[in-house]
Structure 1
Amino acid sequence: MDIKEAILTRRSVKHYDPEHQMTAEEVNMLMEHAILSPTAFNLQHWRFVNVEDNALRQAIREASYGQAQVTDASMLLILCADLNAWEKDPQRYWRHAPKEVQDFMLPAIEGYYTNHHQGQRDECFRSAGIAAGTIMLMAKGMGYDSCPMDGFDFDKVARLINLPHDHVIVMMITIGKKLQDARPRSGQLDLEEVFFTNTFPEQTK
């Protein structure tokens, strides 16, 4: 499947075959491509929790208001991010770069993130969001469907997965073999309503 077809056919599927299992090789292929997603300053601050334990899945389903996709999908992936990745041995993110690049980037990282808590959080969400798009398109290319989720109790799920105190949960993604097609697109806006040239149009009163 080419990238255009994957974009056109990717939908948020909520009904999965609970008997289907992804192989370890498929999971690794999916995630090896996910971590090629771009991140600010190359911090790679996303962290991914693949929930395989059935009892834990059931507990997360209860924290997700009973949504069956949490337990029925072949893969339940929780996308998290490390808010403080920027200060945890940051030279490792640039270890293969020329020295002059390292000498510029490492102080730049420190200068941008120090005492910039909103920036830390914003970049985590941006980076994890980019990774989520990569994951869903890669899954589609592999013959799987997916659904991004934020319909759950974030605090409960954080406790269930033992989320570190300096991490945040961004979203969950379910991945698997669909049993039902997604509903037809319900109200896609026309391109001219969301895509502008140079500036926003003048607002009329």
Structure 2
Amino acid sequence: MELHQAIAQRRTVKQFDPHHRLSAEEFETLINQAMLAPTSFNLQHWRFVRIEDSTLRADMCTAAWGQVQVEQASELLVITADIKAWEKSPARYWQNVDAETRSMVVDMLTEFYRGRESLQRDEAIRSAAFAAQNLMLSARAMGYDSCPMIGFDADAVGQLIKLPADHLIVMLLAIGKPAAQPQARGGQLALHEVLLSNRFPDPIHKTTKDKTTRCTRPQRTSI
């Protein structure tokens, strides 16, 4: 399947065939494709927690407020991100370049992220989201569907997977063979509403004029 087809056909599916399983080769392909996602300074913040234990799946379903796809899907991944990836032996992210380049990049990223907690968090989420999109498109190209989820108790899921303190959960992602056709798309916004040329337009300031009604006495006519 071509990329454009995978993008056009990707849909969020809520019902999966509970008996279908991805092969080991298919699953490995998905993860390898996810790992090719763009990531700032090649930090690769993403960490994928594969939920294989059936009891844990049931607990995850409870934490996800009973959403059936959590248990039915062939694969359930918790997409997490390492907020502190930038300071964890960053030279290893650049092992394939020469020593001079590696040292320069490590100095740059350290200076860029140090003391900027909001940026560290935002960048981790961005990287993991890019990887999740790769997963969803790769799954569609292989004939599977997916369901990204944010509807769950993040604290409960974090406890179930023993989430480290310096990591965060970006989403749950169910992948598998669809058991039902998805609903029609809700509707895309018009192109002119989402595509702007060069900059946003100036805000329109609405002014209200103070309109006062003057009551005047009718002139008396002399007879």
Fold equivalence (TM over 0.5): yes
Counterpart CA distance in 1 for 2:168 and 2:8 is 31
SS in structure 2 of the partner of residue 28 of structure 1: helix
SS in structure 2 of the partner of residue 140 of structure 1: helix
Match of 2:105 in 1: 105
- Contact between 2:45 and 2:127, CA under 8 Å: does it hold in 1? yes
- Offset of 1:136 from its aligned partner? 0.3
- Contact between 2:91 and 2:103, CA under 8 Å: does it hold in 1? no
Q: Does 1:169 align with 2:169?
A: yes
Q: Deviations over 1:17-50 (max 9, x none)?
A: 0010111111101101110111011000110001
Counterpart CA distance in 2 for 1:191 and 1:98 is 45
Counterpart CA distance in 2 for 1:15 and 1:116 is 41
Q: Unmatched 5+ residue regions in structure 1? A: none
SS in structure 2 of the partner of residue 186 of structure 1: coil
- The AA in structure 2 aligned to 1:99 is A
Q: Does 1:150 align with 2:139?
A: no
Q: Deviations over 1:135-183 (max 9, x none)?
A: 0000000110001100000000000001111110000110000011111
Match of 2:52 in 1: 52
> What pairs up with 1:16-55 in 2 under 5 angstroms?
16-55=16-55
- The AA in structure 2 aligned to 1:50 is R
Q: Deviations over 1:91-150 (max 9, x none)?
A: 001111123321321111110111111111000011011111110000000110001100
SS in structure 2 of the partner of residue 96 of structure 1: coil
Counterpart CA distance in 1 for 2:72 and 2:143 is 17
RMSD, aligned α-carbons: 0.9
Greater CA drift, 42-51 or 90-99: 90-99
Match of 2:13 in 1: 13
With the length of structure 1 as denominator, give the TM-score of the two structures.
Answer: 0.97
Match of 2:93 in 1: 93
Q: Does 1:141 align with 2:141?
A: yes
Query: Runs ≥4 in structure 1, deviation > 2 angstroms?
Result: 201-205
Match of 2:182 in 1: 182
% identical aligned pairs: 49
Counterpart CA distance in 1 for 2:101 and 2:199 is 34
Counterpart CA distance in 1 for 2:192 and 2:7 is 20
Counterpart CA distance in 2 for 1:97 and 1:187 is 46
Counterpart CA distance in 2 for 1:45 and 1:68 is 29
> What pairs up with 1:60-75 in 2 under 5 angstroms?
60-75=60-75
SS in structure 1 of the partner of residue 47 of structure 2: strand
Counterpart CA distance in 2 for 1:179 and 1:162 is 31
Q: Unmatched 5+ residue regions in structure 2? A: 207-223
Q: Deviations over 1:55-101 (max 9, x none)?
A: 00000000001000000000001100111111111000111112332
Counterpart CA distance in 1 for 2:177 and 2:201 is 43
SS in structure 1 of the partner of residue 132 of structure 2: helix
- The AA in structure 2 aligned to 1:104 is M
Counterpart CA distance in 2 for 1:120 and 1:202 is 32
Counterpart CA distance in 2 for 1:101 and 1:199 is 36
- The AA in structure 2 aligned to 1:174 is A
